[in-house]
Amino acid sequence: MQPKREFQRAVVTGGAGFLGSHLSDALLASGCEVICVDNLCTGSRDNMRHLLDDPRFTFVLADVSAGLHVEGPVDLVLHLASPASPVAYTELAIETLEVGSRGTSNALELAAEKGARFILASTSEVYGDPLESPQSEVYRGNVNPVGERSMYDEAKRFGEALTVAHATRRGVDAGIVRIFNTYGPRLRSGDGRVIPNFIRQALVDDPMTVYGDGTQTRSLCYVDDTVRGILDLAASHHLGPVNIGNPEEITITELAERIRGLIGSSSPLRHLDLPADDPKRRCPDILRAGTLLGWKPTVSLNDGLLRTISWFEENQETPDEGPPVAESLSQGLKERTGP
């Protein structure tokens, strides 16, 4: 194993989002300067409000699909810009495809120009509705290219192919991380993902929405572990792809009951039809992450859920549903902007 690297100045596209803002926190804590680029179509000002007084943090209000230029040296580009929840990428289908193609291309061009390490935040969705479990990086997946989730799945699959092409043909120092279901503080309560849905409903004793019969599984990784895995890949010299996720598998019904018990809620379970192409099983094989990076998750599901529930309890009076795209792009910010 080659020695891990440290970074001085990083660009985080999608840095105002749930995961991007946690990555920005970790990079700043390591002594790295951070340039966050986001158009706020699904990101939030509140996610980075605590960082705006840090002189090492700069926020740039911009759409990376339209271009990405940063003055001065950069030694790390983390490309996370994309709608990431079913509600968001369904509503923003074209924008999702554009940021996965043009946005990824622009981020790769920046990394090539600066001689920077590039990390693509890909997803377990590239495996589609898998026919084998757990899913290893060599599994080619079962994706419907014209289905209801295709805009997100295919955007990420194209982004992976583009990243490999730049690495093998142009010598860009690149890595691909396939992120499995990640949860924690700063998830938007109305974005349609299972944990914020269940927590929001259970806190007010509303029915907890279970799609299908609830036997489908997810493997849930607390955000601190996911961030550590992404940065471990960034600090390595590996192209990947590398799965980052928690292999502890749980059914949706068991998850609802676990959250209901931790909150002490009396919410009943309400079953609705399962959406088309919804994965029946989702579980990462993390052998490659352990072998190449020495990474494994350390936060238990109960501990992670308790931390997340606590955050939602403190923030439930003014949930951040995210501003409309048109408002985000026209309104501007009072905070510092510019590279």
Dump pLDDT digits (tens) for 181-196: 999 999 988 777 899 9
Q: Please give the pLDDT value at position 331.
A: 35
| Residue 199, in any domain of the structure | no
Task: Please classify residue 6 by burial: count the beta carbons closer than 10 Å to its beta carbon, then call 0-12 exposed, 13-18 middle and 19+ buried.
Answer: exposed
- 174 is a domain residue: yes
Greatest pairwise CA separation for the chain in angstroms: 57
Cα 82 from chain centre: 8
Which of 152, 183, 211, 222 is catalytic? The answer is 152
Would you say residue 257 lies in a domain? Answer: no
* Structure confidence at residue 242 as a pLDDT band (50, 70, 90): very high
Q: Among residues 158, 236, 326, 224, which one has the least CA distance to residue 2?
A: 236
- Mean pLDDT within 128-155: 95
The answer to whether residue 206 is domain-embedded is no
298 contacts 246 by C-beta, under 8 angstroms: no
Q: For residues 281-308, give the mean pLDDT.
A: 97
pLDDT at 234: 98
152 is catalytic: yes
CA 238 to CA 242: how far, in whole Å?
9
DSSP helix/strand/coil, 327: helix
Q: Residue 76: give the domain boundaries.
A: 9-182+222-246+284-298+319-331
**Which is nearest to 49 in space by CA: 84, 21, 19?**
21
What band does 1 get if pLDDT is binned at 50, 70 and 90?
A: low
> Quick check: 86 pLDDT over 60?
yes
- CA-based angle 329:330:335, to the nearest 5? 80
Asked if pLDDT for residue 320 goes beyond 80, the answer is: no
Residue 203 belongs to some domain of the structure:
no
Tokens 């809620």 locate to 265
CATH number at residue 325: 3.40.50.720
Determine which of 23-37, 128-142, 179-193, 255-269 has the lowest per-residue pLDDT on average: 179-193
Q: Say which residue, 247 or 326, is predicted with more confidence.
A: 247
Distance, in Å, from the CA atom of 26 to the CA atom of 12, rounded to the nearest integer, reads 12
Could you tell me what percent of the chain has a pLDDT over 90? 85
Residue 214 has what pLDDT?
93
Does 94 fall in a domain?
yes
pLDDT of residue 336: 43
pLDDT averaged over every residue in the chain: 91
User: Residue 27: its pLDDT value, please?
Assistant: 98
Q: Lowest-pLDDT range, 174-178, 224-228, 269-273, 284-288?
A: 269-273
Domain annotation covers residue 30? yes
pLDDT at 335: 42
Give residue-wise pLDDT tens across range 268-286. Answer: 999 998 888 788 899 999 9
Span 248-275, mean pLDDT? 94
In a domain, 114, yes or no: yes
pLDDT at site 328: 34
The model's pTM is 0.91
At 331, which amino acid appears? Q
Domain count, the chain: 1
